[in-house]
Structure formats: structure tokens, C-alpha cells
């Protein structure tokens, strides 16, 4: 049909359309170079800076958390202390088997220990000074983890495994092209999820999650945009960027505790 030729150039050619095409080809677009001004903040952006700050805060939080275990801080309890406040009497006298503060469940990290004369008045009133005993780390929240739900954590874990897999792509062979089709395809899938989660975090005003997902996205894009048979140089370039950003470790820090806790 002649309409088919007008539509997509198939079918019997329409002589009138052909003639018009030929005649009007003098007006056809001729490729020209486009001079663009440099876009500010191509790589150094406030978002990246915020992500870096977040990573630093997380590392600092971890450091404080680890060192706190060794310090056994003294805490003064008040009468209106919460029921599950960990308390131990200051007097060093002989302590009997301390009653566990059962209200907060089996994971309660603290034990009660009160002096004998005070025990008669009731443990909660008597205990004025407290001391932490054997803190249980399972309920401690590492700073920053509260921003990531299980879905995001699992996504971060997948991304981390993908980046590790990509880092392990062999560049030793003599072939010019590198086989990275699996990573490329996987990156596409993870990228789609990443964009959704990032926008979700953005909508919720969850800046830390938005920043981390945002810093992950360029690397996923780079892998997803690789040609079918990327050159060794192209693969090496992406690998170096993954290495430079140290994002694999960051992804692990945020994903592993949450995923492990929910498994």
C-alpha cells in the first residue's frame, strides 16, 4: 500500500512522496558541532559532598560505638528513669544474683544489682546510681542505619555484589573485547530499582538514603551503558572509579547489619 510507504518507507513506493522527498532534501538537517558551556558540578556536587560527609559520620559512629564497649560508663539514674534503664548500685558490696529487668524482653542488655538495704524498698526506688553491665550490641543502632529499610538494604547488597563482580572481571586475556554482558544486564536491572528507591527516598525527604543511592547511580549507569563488547580500557576506567569511590565498603556497611538482622 502507498500509505505504508508514507508511514515507514515499506511497501510500494509512492512516486509523489518520493519526488517530494528528493526535492525537499535540500532542507535536510546537516550535522553541526554543538559548543556547550561546561556544566558546573559535573562531578563535584553538593550531593556527593553530603554523601562523603555521611560516610565519615558513619565511620565516626562506628568508632565511637566500638570504643564505648571498653569504657563502662557511669550513668546517674533519676527517679523518673525509664523502666528499662540499666541500673546497678554503686556500693561495691557483695552482690547477689541480680534480677534481670524482664520488661524489655530477652534482649535486654543490662542487669540490675542493688545494695541489700535498698532492696527492701523496692528495686526501682532504691537504685539511684547505675552502671552499665555487658551491653548487648544486637539492639544497638549504628548511626545512619535507621535511614535504610530492608528493601533498600537488600538493594544495596545486590549492588555491592554486582560491583564486586564487575571488579573481578578479568582483563588478563589478550582479547580486545571484554565479556561483561552479565554485569551490564544486571546493572540495568539494579539501576531501574535504584532510580525508584532514590526517588522514593527523595519523596520521603530521606536525604542520607537519597545521597547514597545517588552516588551509586553513576557507576551503575557506566556499567549499563557499556557497549556490547567493551574494550579493556573502558572496563578498567569503570573499575578505577569504583575503586576510587570506595563505595563497595560503604554499601556493605549499610546493608549487611540490616539484612542480617532481618534474616
Q: State how far the Cα of 158 lies from the Cα of 210, in Å rounded to an integer.
A: 17
Q: Give yes or no for a contact between 122 and 227, defined as CB atoms under 8 angstroms apart.
A: no
Question: Should residue 195 be labelled a site residue for other proteins when binding is judged by CB under 8 A?
Answer: yes
User: Nearest approach, Cβ of 25 to other proteins (angstroms)?
Assistant: 7
> What single DSSP character describes residue 120?
T
Pick from 55, 87, 88, 191 the residue near other proteins by CB under 8 A.
191
Residue 188 C-beta: closest distance to other proteins, Å:
8
Among 52, 126, 221, 259, binds other proteins (CB under 8 A): 221
Q: Pick one of 56, 64, 171, 196: the residue that binds other proteins (CB under 8 A).
A: 196
Q: How far apart are CA 178 and CA 161, in angstroms?
A: 19
Q: Among 262, 246, 263, which residue's Cα sits nearest to residue 58?
A: 246
Cell of 112: 540490675
* CA 260/CA 111 separation, integer angstroms: 26
Helices 207-224 and 247-262 pack at an angle, to 10 degrees, of 120
Nearer to other proteins, 152 or 255 (CB): 152
Shortest Å distance, C-beta 111 to other proteins: 37
- How far, in Å, CA of 176 to CA of 228, rounded? 13
Considering the complex, state which of residue 8 and residue 263 has its C-beta at the smaller distance from other proteins: 8
Residues 198-217 binding other proteins (CB under 8 A) are 199-200, 203-204, 217
**Residue 74 within binding range of other proteins, rule CB under 8 A:** no
Q: Which is nearer to other proteins, 16 or 246 (CB)?
A: 16
Size of the site for other proteins (CB under 8 A): 45
Q: How far is the CB of 219 from other proteins (least distance, A)?
A: 11
Q: By three-state DSSP, how is residue 94 classified?
A: coil
Closest listed residue to residue 211, CA positions, set 41, 61, 59, 48: 48
Q: Does 139 bind other proteins (CB under 8 A)?
A: no
Q: Contact between 11 and other proteins (CB under 8 A)? A: no
- Spacing of C-alpha 87 from chain mean position: 36
For the CB of residue 257, give the shortest distance to other proteins in the complex, in Å: 20
| Nearest-10 Cα torsion for 197, 145, 147, 196 | 0
In the list 59, 77, 224, 259, the residue contacting other proteins (rule: CB under 8 A) is 224
Question: What distance in Å separates the CA atoms of residue 68 and residue 122, rounded to the nearest whole number?
Answer: 30
Q: Using alpha carbons, select from 225, 194, 186 the residue that is nearest to residue 212.
A: 194
- Contacting other proteins within 22-41 (CB under 8 A): 23-32, 34, 36-37, 39, 41
Residues that bind other proteins (CB under 8 A): 2-3, 6-9, 14, 16-17, 20-21, 23-32, 34, 36-37, 39, 41-43, 151, 188, 191-193, 195-196, 199-200, 203-204, 217-218, 221-222, 224-225
Amino acid at each position: 500500500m502507498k500509505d505504508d510507504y508514507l508511514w515507514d518507507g515499506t511497501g510500494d513506493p509512492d512516486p509523489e512522496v518520493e519526488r517530494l522527498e528528493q526535492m525537499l532534501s535540500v532542507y535536510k538537517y546537516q550535522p553541526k558541532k554543538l559548543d556547550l558551556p561546561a556544566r558546573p558540578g559535573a562531578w563535584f556536587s553538593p550531593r556527593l559532598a553530603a554523601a562523603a560527609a555521611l560516610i565519615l559520620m558513619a565511620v565516626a559512629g562506628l568508632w565511637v560505638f566500638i570504643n564505648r564497649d571498653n569504657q563502662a560508663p557511669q550513668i546517674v539514674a533519676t527517679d523518673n528513669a525509664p523502666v528499662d534503664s540499666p541500673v546497678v548500685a554503686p556500693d561495691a558490696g557483695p552482690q547477689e544474683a541480680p534480677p534481670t529487668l524482664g520488661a524489655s524482653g530477652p534482649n535486654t542488655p543490662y542487669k540490675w544489682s542493688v545494695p541489700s538495704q535498698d532492696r527492701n524498698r523496692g528495686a526501682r526506688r532504691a537504685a539511684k546510681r547505675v552502671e552499665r553491665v555487658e551491653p548487648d550490641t544486637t539492639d544497638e543502632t549504628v548511626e545512619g542505619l535507621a535511614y535504610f529499610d530492608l528493601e533498600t538494604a537488600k538493594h544495596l547488597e545486590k549492588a555491592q555484589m554486582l560491583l564486586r563482580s564487575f571488579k573481578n572481571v578479568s582483563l588478563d586475556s589478550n582479547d580486545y573485547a571484554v565479556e561483561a554482558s552479565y554485569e551490564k544486564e544486571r546493572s540495568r536491572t539494579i539501576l531501574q530499582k535504584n532510580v525508584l528507591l532514590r526517588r522514593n527516598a527523595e519523596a520521603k525527604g530521606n536525604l542520607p538514603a537519597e545521597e547514597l543511592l545517588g552516588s551509586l547511580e553513576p557507576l551503575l549507569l557506566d556499567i549499563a551503558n557499556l557497549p556490547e563488547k567493551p574494550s579493556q580500557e573502558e572496563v578498567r576506567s569503570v573499575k578505577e572509579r569504583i575503586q576510587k569511590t570506595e563505595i563497595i565498603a560503604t554499601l556493605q556497611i549499610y546493608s549487611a547489619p540490616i539484612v542480617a538482622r532481618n534474616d
